[in-house]
Amino acid sequence: MPLTNEELSLIKRELKREPTQVEIAMFEAQWSEHCSYKSSRKHLRKLAMEAPWVVKGGDAAVVELGPVYVAFRIESHNHPSAVDPYNGAATGVGGIVRDILSSGAKPIALLDDLIFGDLREYRTKWHVRGVVKGISDYGNRIGVPTVGGETWFDPDFNRNPMVSAACIGVCPKDKLINGRPRPGDLIIIAGNYTGKDGLLGSSFASKNLEEGVEEEYAAIQVPDPVMEKLLIDSILEMRDKKLLVFVKDLGGGGLATAISEVAASFDLGAEVFLDKLHLREPMDAWEIMVSESQERMMLVVKPENLERVEEILKKYDVPYSVIGKFTDSKNYVAYFKGEKVADVPAKFLAEGPELDRPYERPQWHLKLEKFPKIPEVELKNAIEKVLCSPNVASKRWIYEQYDHEVQIRTVVKPGEGDSAVLRLLEAEPLGIAATTDSNPRYTYLDPLHGAADVFLEAYRNVVASGGRPLAAVDQIDAGNPEKPDRFWFFVRMVDGLAWVEREVRVPIVGGKVSFYNEDEVTGKQIKPTVMITMIGKVEDVRKAKRVRAEEGDKLVIVGETFPELGGSEFLWAVFGKVQGKPPIPRPSAEMRNAEKILEVITLDGVTGIHDIGVGGLAVAAAEMARGVGVTLKLDEVPGKWEKPYQALFSETGARYLIAVKEEALDEVLKRTGGKVIGEFGGGTFKVNYGSKEVEVPEFEELLEKGFERFMG
């Protein structure tokens, strides 16, 4: 994405001269949407970002959790994954792991949030296989388990999948890398040799995908998980010996971004010698400056610690170069073969322009508000279609390719619970619940309420596993910000998040924005999306809850059901429609019911807990009933619904299901105000309403095979 004429004029005025080729490349990389947030910065300030337990920002958010710090972050790698699914997804994992490592935290878990196109399309299957394999191979080889995620399918994403990876790390309180670089501190680049792969990848991520994207392969980085593992081990050892002042991943923008952002943050300048960097191939100065070769990190080291740092890097066979130092000049100065090739104010480069772009709701969007007229619903057929929908059915095919046991921390594993639950300390029961959630239909139909709904779904998932929600990070994906009718979706999603995080007192402490998620072939943007990764504190991981039930357990529902079917899986799977308003977010009800669940979650006799989300009561009950069966009594479901399909498939929030033993039932009902709506057992899925009964004997097979039947 070339610099605009206005940006070029601004640069010339600041420098009082024509910029050099290297400087042009630096500004092109750093002033891209991917690095500078020039269109989104104004609106992202609406987010709270702070709480007493939030320790720092930077490449990863860090929060205090008992005796340790927890670092976490989510970031997309959409464009690279569309062009080269395997390498795009793998390098996305590598980048997010290094973001966590930069704080001094040991990476302990990965999660992914994936949105693909129509599974009947060959291109979609190619995306799925490549992305899953890329995530699996990289995570498995660096020894970081992939413990959870979210997967969606929608025809809007046939050409443009959304691929985000989240990582969580843990750090002892006395080992956080959070120093202040000072003039004279050395700049070391450690890790892989720099090459021409990933040249101006940040610029590639800041434009629309076009026909013939094969030419963009040069913008896609090449993964090297072996080097990543060596970086992890060497940096953690240097952390333990307190040899590092500051660490930053060399991600989007390469040296241009990493060095300028650190210099600007601490009101410093930098002096860099590009020809000192270890290279994979002959390169020009501008290529060295903006290469995004993977598995590289910038280490800031005091001169007196250089020898000890070098010993550790050599011990792990990690290539490195001392390429310069920070200065008090406030300018970023670069030399190449004895010639000065760049001299720009670091803060001017790092911060870039802030744009105040117009936005307006597109007229065509208004017609989506009205809920469509639907014909008479044959309940058994509707249940079958919803249960076997790829958005609902088991993703075992995906998560069984991931190693979720490595590091022996995973207490609640993929497919077992609403959240992954991880042990933080070897000898103590303290842990975290972690989840990631999205719903592109909700944020498309109503970006404000839809974003809030996604956030609250993550909130419930953490609670249902036994965690008290603590903090969240977001990944926001939208179309071209230069078009007001596309930018409107982004602004409204941010507004929804800013509102709901304050209502439930769970701050969003970091995140990432991805624009230009559309292509010139179809002329369409993807459905704008919000991906939320949330963590919660689990006091005792031994008491974490799973999505399960046992023969004879009573089924208790907590929360009211309203006829909210806009944007529902029922409407899509049965009638092929994406229409209506998504459920109304009810933060107060969410908080009240969450407290009720957390009060009973450790009681003896509570077998399992599950939140009600996509697919409604039908899906939640069926998922709990695997292996035992369930009978639902719809007439007992509390709320203001009128028709059986509304009770079964409404996606109203603030609702949970509890599987309870008879001896604990009275206590659970007393503490939660819940209501018994069924019983587990019988081996099939039965629904009673009035004098009628519907039975779906093969409900488990539908759940298990609904996705796999497409993948073969």
Report whether pLDDT(691) > 50. Answer: yes
**For residue 200, what pLDDT is reported?**
57
Q: Please tell me the predicted confidence (pLDDT) of residue 710.
A: 83
Give the Cα separation of 452 and 442 in Å (integer).
9
Cα 550 to Cα 679: distance, rounded to the nearest angstrom = 10
What CATH architecture does domain 1-39+174-349 belong to? Alpha-Beta Complex (3.90)
- The predicted pLDDT at position 1 comes to 55
Per the annotation, does 76 bind a ligand?
Answer: yes
Q: What is the pLDDT of residue 51?
A: 84
Q: Is 294 annotated as a binding residue?
A: yes
pLDDT above 90 coverage of the chain, percent: 87
The pLDDT of 393-398, averaged and rounded, is 92
Q: Are 169 and 533 in contact (CB under 8 A)?
A: no
Q: Residue 73 annotated as binding?
A: yes
Asked whether residue 207 carries a pLDDT value surpassing 90, the answer given is: no
278 known member of a binding site: no
**Would the annotation count 21 as a binding residue?**
no
**Residue whose token pair is 């009718």:** 485
Place of tokens 């066979």: 317
Does 37 show up as a binding residue in the annotation?
yes
437 is in an annotated binding site: no
Which backbone phi and psi does 74 adopt, to 5 degrees? Answer: -130, 145
Q: How many other C-beta atoms can be found within 10 angstroms of the C-beta atom of residue 709?
A: 13
CA distance 154 to 350: 37
Among 165-174, 519-528, 650-659, 670-679, the range scoring the smallest mean pLDDT is 519-528
Amino acid letter at 34? H
Encode 507-548 in three state secondary structure. Answer: CEEEEEEECCCEECCCCCECCCEEEEEEEEEECCHHHCCCCC
Q: CA-CA distance, 444 to 58, in Å (whole number)?
A: 30
Q: Is 78 annotated as a binding residue?
A: yes
User: Which pLDDT does position 358 carry in this prediction?
Assistant: 97
- Report the pLDDT value the prediction gives residue 421, as an integer from 0 to 100: 95
Q: Is the predicted pLDDT of residue 359 greater than 80, yes or no?
A: yes
Q: Is the pTM of this model over 0.85?
A: yes
How far is residue 627 from each of residues 174, 301, 548, 550, measured CA to CA in Å?
47, 57, 9, 8
Going by the DSSP 8-state scheme, the letter that residue 103 receives in this structure is: T
Does residue 219 carry a pLDDT above 50?
A: yes
Token reading at 183: 């003039």
Least confident interval from 97-106, 189-198, 327-336, 564-573: 189-198
Q: Which pLDDT score is estimated for 132?
A: 95
β-bridge mates for residue 536, sequence order: 433, 469
Q: How much is the pLDDT for 376? A: 86
Q: Does 679 score more than 80 pLDDT?
A: yes
Per-domain residue ranges of the chain:
1-39+174-349, 545-712
Q: Determine the pLDDT at residue 206.
A: 45
Q: Length of the chain, please?
A: 712
E strand or H helix that includes residue 318 = none
Domain 545-712 is in which class? alpha beta
209: pLDDT strictly greater than 60: no
pLDDT value at 34 more than 90: no
Which residue numbers are catalytic?
A: 34, 77
Q: What is the pLDDT of residue 58?
A: 67
**Is the Cα torsion angle 222, 228, 230, 236 positive or negative in sign?**
positive
Which of 472-486, 518-532, 661-675 shows the lowest per-residue confidence on average (mean pLDDT)? 518-532
Q: Is the pLDDT of residue 675 over 60?
A: yes
| Over residues 678-705, mean pLDDT | 95
Q: To which H or E segment does residue 672 belong?
A: helix 662-672
Burial of 576 (0-12, 13-18, 19+ CB in 10 A): exposed
**Signed CA dihedral, 487, 489, 494, 495: sign only:** positive
- For 38-52, 485-499, 567-581, which range has the lowest pLDDT when averaged over its residues? 38-52
Looking at the predicted structure, is the pLDDT value of residue 214 above 80? Answer: no
Give residue 379's identity as a one-letter amino acid code.
L
- The reply to whether domains 1-39+174-349 and 545-712 share a CATH topology is yes
pLDDT mean across residues, the chain: 93
Average pLDDT over residues 39-53: 90
Residue 173: how many other CB atoms lie within 10 Å = 11
Residue 139: predicted pLDDT = 93
Span of 60-69, 292-301, 401-410 with lowest mean pLDDT? 401-410
In angstroms, rounded to a whole number, what is the distance separating the alpha carbons of residues 275 and 72? Answer: 35
